[in-house]
Structure 1
Amino acid sequence: MKNKVFACLLGLTVLSYTVNAAYAIDLDDSTRTLPLDDSGTTVVFTLEQVKRGKKLFNNTCAICHNGGITKTNPNVGLDPEALSLASPPRDNIGSLVEYLKDPTSYDGAESIAEIHPSIKSADIFPKMRNLSDDDLVSIAGHILLQPKIAAEKWGGGKIYY
């Protein structure tokens, strides 16, 4: 991440502040390389996919998952460990896309489509209605990319957010 300093001249007053952020242009190929499936295949996200994933996640998912937490169940976040321990594991693009289409409980035993936004329940959750498979891939990529950018903050809970 780069430190960017911005200054704004307003009359005679100069305001300056520092912003710490990782911008898509700062992300190299290795950072944008994400697991595609459980066989170990990877995919390198484009800068456009990174930007689109962030926008879609913020518009569709962040109300309950801001910062990778889960407001409705603080014991299960979107951090890599929690995703890998789900059944089936949700630690790759393919499994997250399947989850966004038809979500199941953490143990995989039952459908939770009626209470979790998904393509299957788009009639209940309007924000899901117009999402394409490419959109779901971008959202999944955002979820998997954040631990590489925000480290322990992603899914770290209320001590960070």
Structure 2
Amino acid sequence: MSPPELDPLDQRLITLLRHDGRRSISDLAIDLEVSRATVRTRMARLEKAGVILGYTVILRADAVEDPVRGIMLIEVEGHAADRVIKALSGMPAVQEIHTTNGRWDLITTLSATSLPDLDQVLRRIRLIPGITASETNLLLATPRTTRARL
């Protein structure tokens, strides 16, 4: 079953909820210029269809990024991916881990408070057994993101 088509009202509702998932239905209705019943019905439909999977708390540590960020592309030998992912998951500087196809097996996003701190993180990652090669790129600016910001 494919997800329902989102009309402009659904899209505006989702945008408001992304910015503050705890907003009251009354406040949402006022901003959207519709009734509370309409908002309630739309939210229920989007939840039932699996468009909205849930509402969450965003911790300050998750929303406020460190000043130095990068993407590390990682090549893993043989069947070591699970072991490498487990090791990376225990490192606070590793924000995200993605499996992928092509030249690189994993892509991670990293954050650190300074370039020397990032250098230390990179050195620790390169020592993880099973990693055979890596390439790191610094992120200079983020013109667009859907992550919450404080």
When normalised by structure 1's length, the TM-score is 0.23
Query: Which one has the bigger strand percentage?
Result: 2
Name the larger-Rg structure. Answer: 2
Q: TM-score, normalised by structure 2?
A: 0.24
